[in-house]
Structure 1
Amino acid sequence: MSDEPRVLDGRYRLDELIGRGGMASVYRGYDVTLGREVAIKLLARELASDDGFRTRFRLEAQSASRMSHPTIVRVYDAGETTTTFPDGTVVPEPYIVMELVRGTLVKDLIGDEPLSVEDAVRITDGILEALQYSHRAGVIHRDIKPGNVMVTPTGQVKVMDFGIARAVSDGSSTVAETTQILGTASYFSPEQAKGETVDARADLYSAGVVLFELLTGHPPFRGDTPVAVAYQHVSEAPAAPSDERDDVPPIIDAVVSRALAKDPFDRFPDAAAFRGALASALRGVASDEPPAPTPTEVSDVLFAPSTREATATAQSLRRLSTTRATTRTSPAPTTLWIWIGTAIAAVVLIAVLAWVIAARAGAGAEAPPHTVPDVAQVAFTKASGTLSEAGFTVQQRAEASTTVASGNVIRTDPAAGTVSAQGATVVVYVSTGVPMVPVPTLQGLSQDAATSVLTNAGLALGAVTQQDDPTAKSGTVLSASSAAGTNVPAGTSIALVVATGKVALPDLTGFTVSAAESQLQKLGLTPAQTNDQTCTASKPPTVKVMSVAPGEVPIQSTVTLTVCVG
């Protein structure tokens, strides 16, 4: 079997395996075209021949590629390659190329000891920030758990693996309809466990489970089997984190309790409300965010104003009729009072009708909703015109990008496809191009140290060339493709010339002793001499034998020259 690394589509080199899931394997890889390290997710071979799984895998790429946010692992590219087995069977292998994230998984941060309350809230807030963005983009994660969240060395929270995410519009998709259980039982929402249709509030429940585990060191429900755990999610109330930790304030208990409500309508209505409650809890005050609306209240919100007003008017008229009916037993008023009452009722009725008509007209005059157009990768001037024509107010923000050309749009907030009111502000993130970083000093470092320095500087290790040097030990950097202090685009690959720790020793037999010693000294080698009395001496003395054979030898080696003196 060849030791050469596999290269997908002539561009993406597969290096070592760094993770494996039930559906795919993740490899550290290298984009030879752009010269940057990436992560490559490759569908398991035993599943790749199944059209259904391949479709699910492609949907993952499509869903994830729509999202560009600091808290979400970026998806750069997707494709499909093939593998031919010894029996001639050709199996397709879809793959996704993603941002390579360095950091620590939250499940490893938890370990044996729970985190501080502040750290637990900070990590949960990072998860909710990612969900706030993804939900607005129309994507539910469905598998929020500590194993899918990473914290980078800078403290940035990154949510990974939208591999089982589905578009919110795919409302018919339920757990019961799939061929495998989506998500992990310990982090299931009750509606997932029951096989019901789920929405964004299922992710908020899972985020609440993660917050509970960050505070206590374990999930709220545990059992011997996934079925037992799922049953607890549906039917049992979780304990309060403060029951296990004295330093958890009751106000945090309240936030966790609401996030873990069985009924989705009793939870936070969205990720922003959850984040607000956590921020308020850290300040020691109750959230100003009102309780989640009941199903009836949600329906009321969806009614047009004119419909609610007409309903209220009808109820008022019914109350008026009831009141008149209850007072009809009173003595009959005089004719004058009858006419006065009739006139007043007529005026009131006309006023009510006029008010209802005006309200309907006002509702009709309200600005109709508009859909935010997709202007990604478009020049800002053109994108601004497109958004203005669509009825939006444009606000520009600059942001560096390694994938979008300078002056072009990276993304918008709200995201493309979002329905917003006419005149709403759309924040347009415009690329300032690849950020420039200075090349650090690399000469004299070991190759491992140079690689670490490059990574910390936001650069990548390029091609490594071996070169003999009589004074540098093996692995020492002799030079780099860019001089120290030179500004280059972030992510640039820096090629290195590294010492082999050896020199090329020529064949010196037949050389005069003085010439051979001079040559050895130029190579940084130490000459020594031994005499052989069994052979006839020559004038001037010449080398008969070398103690070291010609070829690559370690630097500063000693080479003994045998000279005939007989």
Structure 2
Amino acid sequence: MLSGRYRVDSLIGRGGMATVHRGYDLTLGRTVAIKILDRELARDNTFRTRFRLEAQAASRMAHASIVRVYDAGEDLEDDPAGGITHTPFIVMELVRGRLLREIAAEAPLSADDAARYVDGILEALEYSHRAGVVHRDIKPGNVMVTDDGQVKVMDFGIARAVSDTSATVAETTTILGTAAYFSPEQAQGEPVDARADLYSTGVVLYELLTGRPPFVGDSPVSVAYQHVREAPVPPTKRYPEAPAQLDPIVMRALAKDPAQRYPDAATFREALDAALDGRTMSRRQMTNLTDELYGEHRRAQNEIEHTFAELSSDNGVARTQSGPPTAWVWAAIALIIALVAALAFWVIESDPLDLRAADTVDVVDVTGWTASAAERELADDGLEVKVSTQPSDSLPEGTVIETRPAPGTSLELGTHVDILVSDGPLMAAIPSIIGGTEDAARKALDGHDGLQLGRIMPTNDPDAQAGTVLSAEVNGDKVAEGDEVLEGSRVDLTVATGRVTINDLTDMPYEFAKKSFEDLGLTVEQTVDDGCEAGDPLIVETQNPAAGDVDIHSTVTLRVCAPAAEANESGTSDGAEG
């Protein structure tokens, strides 16, 4: 329990500085997601401050395309050493769906599907940027797609208000984000604005269309260098089946110079929408656009490669030159040194980078993924995968519960990894009890391993004998024989009393009273009071039994007042027949 209000349930996911759990808000009675800062990091005031800033930034985001933050706090407990243990946490909306990372891993997407997901990301960014918040870590792993197709951007934990992105903040914070989705300015440790998010969104669009980011490498340093210095290959050249009409959209979004990108998320969305209905660029137009955006980087890249080739002889001895290298060579060398230094700072202050030998791999956290996507991801990493199932009340069928070994464990290629997949909750079938007797239903439920007898609710029914089970309910929903419910459910029974309720219909017209009782399955007998004056209406003087519950199919006797003339005629007629 956190703050005496939030119950912490099963683990959903694990990040660099926090874990996310399914939880329950006891005050409001709703299921939530709870992000809890790692206990080791929670001892550091700096990390706790960053975590609190995350909550403050995210709590301002109230939009359908952004995972909502409900509450934030810090749970304090006395530790055995006499100190205080800090447990900062954030309470968020629980989103049911799939990570965009899982969807992207399955296969390259069509133009319409890729545009739909990216448009959802841009819609969220359009809102957050207006609020003055830059996300700084847009990537498929931070985007959820709900079961009904709604895109939701999550984890504004690396976001900072645009007004706070001063030189001081840039100098005192680590380089944050993920190298594959860095903007060039992030890779160089420079202050960033909303256009950095648009660059990262362009990387996501590229990956959705081709199946991989535009820049990959053996280390984050090499990937970061490519973001800064190398021109991306158009999506159609990477994956010929990619929609050509989106090539210029991607290339504009990935411009090295922020001024050459889309100025804001709204403009990006408009261009994306127009491209779906527009014509494909000609080869010459595409070449001109690429030269406009990346010509300088292409030339610099070629010159660097050419110069370093000249600086090395076949035996590795440098050749003599008539003069020093040109200024751009020194600039390139300085840039590489700056990148290495910045990323080394990231290693020290943030999560360690994977600098181990290439014959090992960390187990990816695939908790919450579909079994097929998780199996494919681990197999692609060079691991042997075995799938087993286990019932789960908290995760839907086919969803990964955990991996063994745990996520983050370093393994040699070819090592065996078990993934435990939810088989869904244990279910029990409703036995044949409806229409039978209460005693038979009690015996059936008492002898059932997975069900319990709940409340017995007596009900008057004009057609059912006493003790007949009229219906069964679980959690307020009616169930029938063979329906499957969660194992351990209580089954409430509605049982007939064998009685029916009648009203007092004295002083009412006889025909009305007769029909009312007969509609309840009762038999009506009539007795006539001959003392009524002529012309009086035929009404009920008395009824037996009186108002209340009576046995079903019983008899109600009504004494009615009949006009004297009718009584005489009735008597004469009876005598004549006799």
**TM-score, normalised by the number of residues in structure 2:** 0.51
- Matched-pair contact (CA < 8 Å) for 1:43–1:95: yes
1:56 Cα deviation after fit: 1.1
SS in 1 for 2:273: helix
> Residues 160-175 of structure 1 correspond to what in structure 2 (within 5 A)?
160-172=154-166
User: Does 2:145 match 1:154?
Assistant: no
Equivalent position to 1:138, from 129, 132, 136: 132
8 A Cα contact 1:175 1:196, kept in partner: no
Query: Counterpart of 1:31?
Result: 25
Is 1:222 paired with 2:195?
no
Of 425, 432, 443, the match for 1:470: 443
- Cα RMSD (Å) of the superposition? 3.1
Matching residue of 1:432: none
Structure 1 pair 35/176, CA: closer, same or farther in 2 (3 Å)? same
- Kindly indicate whether the alpha-carbon contact (under 8 Å) linking 2:6 and 2:26 is maintained by their aligned counterparts in 1: yes
Offset at residue 127 of structure 1 (A): 0.4
Taking the aligned partners of 2:169 and 2:232, their CA distance within structure 1 comes to 23
Contact 2:110–2:243 at 8 Å: present in 1 too?
Answer: no
1:244 is the counterpart of 2:238: yes
Residue 271 of structure 1 is aligned with which of 241, 245, 265?
A: 265
| Distance of aligned partners of 1:174 and 1:156 in 2 relative to their CA distance in 1, 3 Å threshold | farther
Matched residue of 1:470: which SS? helix
SS at match of 1:127: helix
Q: Confirm or deny: 8 A CA contact 1:191 1:198 kept in the other structure.
A: yes
- Structure 2 counterpart SS, 1:111: helix
- SS, match of residue 169 in structure 1: helix
Q: Distance in 1 between matches of 2:190 and 2:14?
A: 29
Match of 1:41 in 2: 35
CA distance in 1, matches of 2:38, 2:395: 31
2:73 match: secondary structure: strand
Tell me which amino acid in the other structure corresponds to 1:239: V
Q: Which amino acid letter does the alignment assign opposite residue 148 of structure 2?
A: T
Which amino acid letter does the alignment assign opposite residue 70 of structure 1?
Answer: A
Structure-1-length-normalised TM-score:
0.52
- After superposition, residues 45-124 of structure 1 pair within 5 angstroms as 45-124=39-118
1:215–1:224 CA distance, 2 compared to 1 (3 A): same
- Contact 2:245-2:280 at 8 Å conserved across structures: yes
Gaps of at least 5 residues in structure 1 are 1-6, 295-446, 454-460, 462-467, 486-493, 501-566
Q: 1:165 to 1:52 in 2, by over 3 A?
A: same
User: Matched residue pairs, number?
Assistant: 315
Larger deviation: 164-173 or 199-208?
164-173
2:450–2:489 contact (8 Å) kept in structure 1: no
User: Would the aligned equivalents of 1:107 and 1:146 in 2 still touch at CA under 8 Å?
Assistant: yes
Residues 77 and 84, structure 2, Cα contact 8 Å, conserved in 1: yes
Which string of whole-angstrom CA distances, capped at 9 and with x for unpartnered residues, describes residues 239-261 of structure 1?
A: 11111333333331000000000
1:498 corresponding residue in structure 2? 490
Identity of aligned residues (%): 63
CA, structure 1 residues 9+222, in 2 after alignment: closer, same or farther (shift >3 Å)? same
**Is the CA contact 1:140–1:168 (under 8 Å) kept in the aligned structure 2?**
yes
Letter in 1 for 2:43: S
Tell me the secondary structure at the aligned position of residue 74 of structure 2: strand
- Contact 1:174/1:195 (8 A) holds in 2: no
The letter of the residue matching 1:60 is E
Q: What amino acid is aligned across from residue 470 of structure 1 in structure 2?
A: K
Q: Distance in 2 between matches of 1:156 and 1:252?
A: 22
Tell me which amino acid in the other structure corresponds to 1:79. G
Q: For 1:143 and 1:193, locate their aligned partners in 2 and report how far apart those are by CA, in whole Å.
A: 12
1:371 corresponds in structure 2 to none
Q: Which amino acid aligns with 1:89?
A: G
User: Deviation of residue 76 (structure 1)?
Assistant: 0.5
Shift of 1:483: 3.7
Q: 1:92 Cα deviation (Å)?
A: 1.2
User: Does structure 1 conserve the Cα–Cα contact (< 8 Å) formed by 2:210 and 2:242?
Assistant: no
SS at match of 1:26: strand
Listed as ranges, the gaps of 5+ residues in structure 2 are 282-288, 293-390, 398-424, 426-440, 455-472, 479-485, 493-578
CA–CA distance in 1 between the matches of 2:2 and 2:393? 29
Mapped contact 1:175–1:181 kept (Cα < 8 A): no
Distance 1:482 1:226 in 2: 52
1:268 to 1:471, Cα distance in 2 relative to 1, 3 A? same
Counterpart contact for 2:474–2:490, Cα < 8 Å: no
Cα deviations across residues 386-421 of structure 1 (Å, max 9, x unaligned)?
A: xxxxxxxxxxxxxxxxxxxxxxxxxxxxxxxxxxxx
- Find out whether 1:210 has 2:185 as its counterpart: no
